Amino acid sequence: MKNNLIIVPIIFCLYFQSVLGQETKITEDFKPSSVNQPEKKFPQVNSQGRVRASIAAPNANKVQLDLGGVKYDLVKDANGVWTGDSNPQDEGFHYYQLNIDGASVPDPGTLYFYGAGRLGSGIEIPAKDQEFFSLKNVPHGLVSENIYFSKLTNSFRRCFIYTPPGYNENIKTRYPVLYLQHGSFEDETGWASQGKANLILDNLIAAKQANPMIMVMDNGYAYKPQNSQQDKKEKMLSVFEEVLITEVISMIDAKFRTISNRENRAIAGLSMGANQTMRIMMNHLDTFSQYGGFSGTSNYPNTDAIDVSTFLDGKYKDGNALNKKIKLFWLGLGTKEPVPFPKSVGAFRAMLDQQKIKYVYYQSPETAHEWLTWRRCLYQFASKLFR
């Protein structure tokens, strides 16, 4: 009996070593990432969601792949080429960089994307539901760059405008408008580049699951000019709300065939953009009738219960009054978001429930604070807009 007790743990250890060995075995079916530069073979992704990076750096002493906050050591071969693999990654788009002898640099094999406050590399881990943002043989809209001078910031700025399929042909048709904002340390390029927003709308419109609409993507960083030394010592004052309300909307209504009333104007954003756009909407319910908040609310980063008085102004003292004004109040969140986001959104939802404010809530399965969450949010939100 005593010998049997010894044998049983040994069997279990051998079994778990076998299982772990199967889990850690790398499947050699790597393919170039879909966001690589033309003809570049690396980085690559396999069916497990692992990333394989490779770079020629014969004089380097140490090279690492920095992905998702984890650094993976690469190994140098006889030709001075460093290669290495990551652990399996979540589906969707991720920023990353290479670290060569302590210097963080973009991978020359990928296209560059503005995120994390810099232009850098990106990797696309194929998603099981990627059809909704894939490039398909359907009618496509146009994303155009619009440069304008802002008197409020005393600077040239730009926004990107999506016009739906048929916009240039149906010259008498007017369209509702969605103002869509990026997150922190990103810019006006994010939604059309990393977010695939134009392809999402193209596919929805082609499937008759969304109404044709114009989409405006501006830069959420807008500051009052600092003219004196005293100004420069103080924190820069954001004037994005004023820029959007007094400069951008009137410009869009003048340049494009919009339906220029609140019933046909929506505003949405992700993370920092969700915080910004919710505050803008609540201050300007005479301008917007529909709202989408992706991974953020007006109380972030404060995760405690929100004070109702900071959300409802004098004209809308209760939920019923607000429900009559807002046609669609939509919130979305990934199921794997880091702690502050579920907590702050949860506190905000509790306030909405207490005030009996109607809203739609969506959870993106198995995604964190990342672009696949926000792509899914836009897909779900846009299908309900302007109905």
Residue 226 in this model has a pLDDT that exceeds 90: no
Residue 24 in this model has a pLDDT that exceeds 90: no
Token duo for residue 196:
């695939």
Q: What is the mean pLDDT of residues 225-251?
A: 84
DSSP 8-class letter at 299: T
SS3 label, residue 384: coil
Determine the Cα–Cα distance for residues 373 and 364; give it in Å rounded to an integer.
6
Full DSSP string of 213-262: -EEEEE-S--B----SHHHHHSPPPB-HHHIIIIIIHHHHHHHS-B--SG
Residue 227 in this model has a pLDDT that exceeds 90: no
Residue 23, pLDDT score: 52
Determine the Cα–Cα distance for residues 247 and 275; give it in Å rounded to an integer.
20
Residue 143, pLDDT score: 98
Residue 8, pLDDT score: 38
Share of the chain above pLDDT 70, in %: 90
Q: Choose among 367, 326, 362, 325: nearest CA to 345.
A: 362
SS3 label, residue 304: coil
Mean pLDDT, rounded, of the chain = 91
> What are the pLDDT digits (tens) for 337-387?
998 899 999 999 999 999 999 999 999 999 999 999 999 999 999 999 999
Q: At what angle do helices 371-382 and 197-206 cross, to 10 degrees?
A: 30
> What are the pLDDT digits (tens) for 109-139?
999 999 989 999 999 999 999 999 999 999 9
Q: What is the mean pLDDT of residues 166-192?
A: 97
Residue 6 in this model has a pLDDT that exceeds 50: no
3-state secondary structure 147-204: EEEECCCCEEEEEEEEECCCCCCCCCCCECEEEEECCCCCCCCHHHHCCCHHHHHHHH
Residue 16 in this model has a pLDDT that exceeds 70: no
Q: What is the mean pLDDT of residues 195-211?
A: 98
Q: Choose among 114, 98, 117: nearest CA to 106.
A: 98
Determine the Cα–Cα distance for residues 322 and 32; give it in Å rounded to an integer.
50
Residue 1, pLDDT score: 41
Amino acid at 121: S
Amino acid at 20: L
Alpha helices in the chain (DSSP H): 2-24, 190-193, 197-206, 229-233, 240-242, 249-255, 272-283, 308-311, 319-325, 340-354, 371-382
Give me the domains of the chain, ranges plus CATH numbers: 31-126 (2.60.40.10), 131-382 (3.40.50.1820)
C-alpha 176: how far from chain center: 22
Residue 304, pLDDT score: 73
Q: Choose among 241, 116, 204, 223: nearest CA to 386.
A: 204
Q: Choose among 183, 191, 137: nearest CA to 379.
A: 191
Quickly tell me which residue has 């406050």 as its tokens: 117
Q: Would you say 385 and 290 are in contact if contact means Cβ atoms under 8 Å apart?
A: yes
